[in-house]
Amino acid sequence: VSVYVRLRVASEDYAMPVEHVLQVAPHGDVTAVPGSRPQMLGVRNMRGQILPVVDLALLLRVPRTAPPTRLLVAEAGSRQAGFAIDQVSEVGELADPTEETDSDLLVGAALVGGDLIGIIDVTRVFAALEQVPQ
């Protein structure tokens, strides 16, 4: 049992280990970087620091109907990024993931009261973004 930040990406529930989460902020103005892959929404000025913004819905292949409203700022190793999400539902303990998932960006999924919650592997997400060719 570990502590996670539970978040909503479009219509789906996910969770991220709390030790990776730096803050949750309004989505704010994101400057697009032409030529980047569609998963990269652009860069945002976060108190003087320039933060890359990642489209988590696109990355996890969740269909999106409305623009994201929040940014979850996460960190792994020396990398930081803002993940575009819709809502943080709670911070709390979650049973270890018991269900396997297809996505290699997830550690697995936890079954909570009939809901399936995908546990995001932040390190893998960063690694995948860095490695994908243009």
Partner 1 sequence: VTGIDTELTDIFRDEAAERLDQMETALLAVESGDAGAESVDSLFRNAHTIKGAAGMLGLDDVRALAHAVEDVLEGVRRTKAFPPEVAAPLLRATTMLRAQVAGEHQPIDELLHDLAASLSKLSDGAARAAGAGVPPARAPEAEPAAEPARVLAAEPAAEVQRTPEPAPGPAAERAAEPARVLAAEPAAEAQRTPQPAPVPAEPAAEPARVPAPESAAEPARVREPEPAAEPARVPAVEPAPEAQRAPEAAPHRSDGGKAPLGAPGPKTELRQLRVPAEKIDRLIDVVGEVMQYRGRLAHSLGGHARLPQDVADVLGSGEQMLDELKDTAIGMRTLPLSVITRRLPLAVRDLARAAGKDVEFAVTGADTEIDRVILESLYEPLAHMLRNAVIHGIESAAERERAGKPSRGRLEIRAMPRGSLVEIVVADDGRGVSPEVIERARDEGSLADVLAHPGYSTAAEVTDLAGRGVGLDAVRSYARSVGGNLEIRSEPGHGMEIILLLPLALALLEVLLFERGQAVYGVPMVVVEEIVEVAQTLRLEDRPALEVRGRPLPVADVAALVGAVAPPLSGRSPALVVSAAGRRAVAICDAVLGQEEVVVKPLSPLFGAIEGYLGTAVLGDGRIALLVEPTVLAPRSRRPAGLTSAPDPVPATATATATAPKVLVVEDSFTVRELQRSILEAAGYPVVTARDGREALGVLDRNPDIELVVTDLEMPELDGLGLTRAIRADPARSSLPVVIITSRASEDDQRRGIEAGADAYMSKQGFDQQALLATVERLIGR
Site residues for partner 1 per CB under 8 A: 22-23, 29, 31-37, 40, 43-45, 47-52, 54, 75, 77-81, 126, 129-134
Closer to partner 1 by Cβ: residue 84 or 110: 84
Closer to partner 1 by Cβ: residue 10 or 129: 129
Rounded to the nearest whole angstrom, what is the least distance from the CB of residue 98 to partner 1 in the complex?
A: 30
Closer to partner 1 by Cβ: residue 112 or 132: 132
**Which strand ranges, in their side-by-side order, compose the sheet holding 79-85?**
21-26, 70-76, 79-85, 49-55, 40-46
Residue 48 CB: number of other CB atoms within 10 A?
A: 5
Rounded to the nearest whole angstrom, what is the least distance from the CB of residue 132 to partner 1 in the complex?
A: 6
Rounded to the nearest whole angstrom, what is the least distance from the CB of residue 129 to partner 1 in the complex?
A: 4
Longest CA–CA separation in the chain, Å: 43
In the numeric block, which tokens belong to residue 79? 């990398």
Burial class (CB in 10 A: 0-12, 13-18, 19+), 79: middle
Closer to partner 1 by Cβ: residue 11 or 31: 31
Rounded to the nearest whole angstrom, what is the least distance from the CB of residue 64 to partner 1 in the complex?
A: 19
* Residues 71, 12: Cα–Cα separation, whole Å: 16
